[in-house]
Structure 1
């Protein structure tokens, strides 16, 4: 998808601000722009627009329906546009609104402080283009699903893994990959997880998908080991798997069967994934650690129990959520949180991975903060396994002998 294919909606109660934002979008290459004076009017436009609105730039403080209320209503729609929040309010209000919208399942492209700049709009559009395209690959659109669709896709081998590299900021060396599920749909093509993960969670099928991811990752590690390419893959464990007391032994058996060392499989646990049963979850994580599987706390800072989990669980890695990484150089609050999280991790002896680095400026800040590992679109986008070998060759050739 290009800028010219984007249909944007500007929502602001001030006519002057709408006009200025429209001109900036036009300068950025977006020529199909709609306008609304408040959230209620915007909602009506979004429901009836054909072709549909793909991205919304919304003010927060407006009469009749403010931007916060608009986000709540958008989250209820079957087909939802991405959204960027624009405001002259306290930056903390922008951050709160963005966090609320994400919690409701919306794709938030960023927050923009007034006066709106061309660079800020371009960054939001770049984020949109990098995460969405046609409906088949967009995590912001849903596909009509039932339980049989997921089961049939699993049996047919339609769920595949994409791999996003993780690199060392100081040496530019490859540190491994994160595995990310995709659905190779016979009709819609490659479908992003945003189109089916929420459904799988509601239908209690997420454990089945996680099992597929783990099995695929182990098979890939085995294949790479046999081709003398030794690396590590991170997989995200669901809460359901952390309720299975047989998991540590089964993972050990599967690794041994494939000739994989436990340290090659990094197990990521989101804060929200802990625990269906606290005692069982702690036992499972403790035994996984004893068997040599590295444990990583994923999306650090987005849950409600970060500190308690760091105290109780033998994590070896902390992954800082992208919300505190991308654009932190321009956001003092995000930068302070980023620096504090890195300092905490170092004091606890944990390695630190920053997710969501999209610019050289992001990486420069992470390096200055003392963060060692990074992943994000600036390094590489998630890729099919067929592209990994060529990417590794290109990366190594480009960065041979270059250190920071």
Structure 2
């Protein structure tokens, strides 16, 4: 089937993009490459299957920025190829071009997000120039996801214990702002490890080992101590914010957790009402009695409770009735999905409407584009968090960032056609 060559705008491709086409049909691959050249692409690589694409990617330096891939291919199909790319060191952004049914495409979109890939768009064959250009324009080099090299991905319990003794773990803070006004309302504290040799490492390098070797409670204590101390520091200097901290499922089964957290926060001179404890839906599926006892006691003492990653666990609606939460965080996969697919918008709108009826504050995670922001504002989401606003930052840079944050200028700076 020939690829569409409509006369829509064919200029404006971001300069310097390195592209890879993965398509088993020779004619369609050649026509797609020609279309990309007419759009202004200068560096285009081609592969006829997933195997050859991976081999080619291993040799390219610098690596490709965007992979444009079919799904239904012989040998290694598009699903396996996406998984293999998601497990690699360099993770390019992805555009899917396929003639498969929409429900299957939606499933692959969710799968790609689970593997950590930035999926720019899904386009039905044959792709029109306008659709392809729109997808490629969504690419942002500063949001490129790069994994740590394999030798840095796993650390032993001994390494982590030494790091704990050396006080190498600390919170980085990502802001949360109101969608309606742009007002800064809080930060989420995210664990980081300042490794003396490998620099700042994200949780994927250490969380699994900490949980499996019984070290997660110690990390929770460090995060809560430091996050609450910084919250008190900022509030004493006039910054009206709250700080969120993630609590591990394993920690919640300890009946002594609540008293320990209360004491730690008060020791920093902070009222617990300014701390939000984020828990996942699945937390209440193990040791139900103990977990609910802890959560009820924490809520009674003033902590706010937030259900994190809503929609990714099981029996989501049942958990909402069990936990005395005041906040619901919509997982990033639903936010990104809604910007591209009608089914995603239905799910997002329904979740927000349900939360509103339950008097829950809603926070959307992974807000990365003005389109995400506009859609969330239209559907009445309360707060947003994501790269569009700011990346997680070191604590000693927060005050300067907050001082420079101008809600009015921020809202004015959004594309006029996207503002309500």
CA distance in structure 1 between the aligned counterparts of 2:38 and 2:396, rounded to whole angstroms: 37
> How has the CA–CA distance of structure 1 residues 276 and 223 changed in structure 2, closer, same or farther, with 3 Å as cutoff?
same
Q: What residue number does 2:143 align with?
A: 130
Question: Once the 2 structures are TM-superposed, how far is the Cα of residue 120 of structure 1 from its aligned partner?
Answer: 1.0
Q: What residue number does 2:193 align with?
A: 183
Q: Can you give the 5+ residue segments of structure 2 that lack an aligned partner in the other structure?
A: 1-13, 413-418
Question: Once the 2 structures are TM-superposed, how far is the Cα of residue 199 of structure 1 from its aligned partner?
Answer: 4.7
> How has the CA–CA distance of structure 1 residues 397 and 236 changed in structure 2, closer, same or farther, with 3 Å as cutoff?
closer
2:185 maps to 1:170:
no
Question: Once the 2 structures are TM-superposed, how far is the Cα of residue 51 of structure 1 from its aligned partner?
Answer: 5.9
Question: Once the 2 structures are TM-superposed, how far is the Cα of residue 256 of structure 1 from its aligned partner?
Answer: 1.6
CA distance in structure 1 between the aligned counterparts of 2:143 and 2:119, rounded to whole angstroms: 10
Q: What residue number does 2:99 align with?
A: 88
Q: What residue number does 2:266 align with?
A: 256
CA distance in structure 1 between the aligned counterparts of 2:212 and 2:36, rounded to whole angstroms: 37
- Once the two structures are superposed, residues 32-79 of structure 1 have per-residue CA deviations (whole angstroms, 9 ceiling, x without a partner) of 54322122333444456666666543321112221112234456x563
Aligned partner of 1:302 among 312, 315, 322: 312
Question: Once the 2 structures are TM-superposed, how far is the Cα of residue 210 of structure 1 from its aligned partner?
Answer: 3.3
CA distance in structure 2 between the aligned counterparts of 1:273 and 1:55, rounded to whole angstroms: 37
Aligned pairs (5 A) from 1:4-403: 8-19=19-30, 22=33, 33-46=44-57, 56-74=67-85, 77=87, 79=89, 81-82=91-92, 84-86=94-96, 87-103=98-114, 105-114=115-124, 115=127, 116-123=131-138, 125-126=139-140, 129-132=142-145, 138-139=146-147, 141-142=149-150, 143-147=152-156, 148-201=158-211, 203=213, 205-326=215-336, 328-396=338-406, 398-399=408-409
Q: Is the CA contact 1:139–1:195 (under 8 Å) kept in the aligned structure 2?
A: no
Question: Once the 2 structures are TM-superposed, how far is the Cα of residue 345 of structure 1 from its aligned partner?
Answer: 0.3
CA distance in structure 1 between the aligned counterparts of 2:174 and 2:208, rounded to whole angstroms: 22
**TM-score normalised by length of structure 1:** 0.85
> How has the CA–CA distance of structure 1 residues 249 and 117 changed in structure 2, closer, same or farther, with 3 Å as cutoff?
same
Q: Is the CA contact 1:60–1:85 (under 8 Å) kept in the aligned structure 2?
A: no
Q: Is the CA contact 2:195–2:201 (under 8 Å) kept in the aligned structure 1?
A: yes
**TM-score normalised by length of structure 2:** 0.82
Q: Can you give the 5+ residue segments of structure 1 that lack an aligned partner in the other structure?
A: 133-137
Classify the secondary structure of the residue corresponding to 1:256.
helix
Q: Is the CA contact 1:242–1:276 (under 8 Å) kept in the aligned structure 2?
A: no
RMSD: 3.1
Larger radius of gyration: 2
**How many residues get paired?**
393
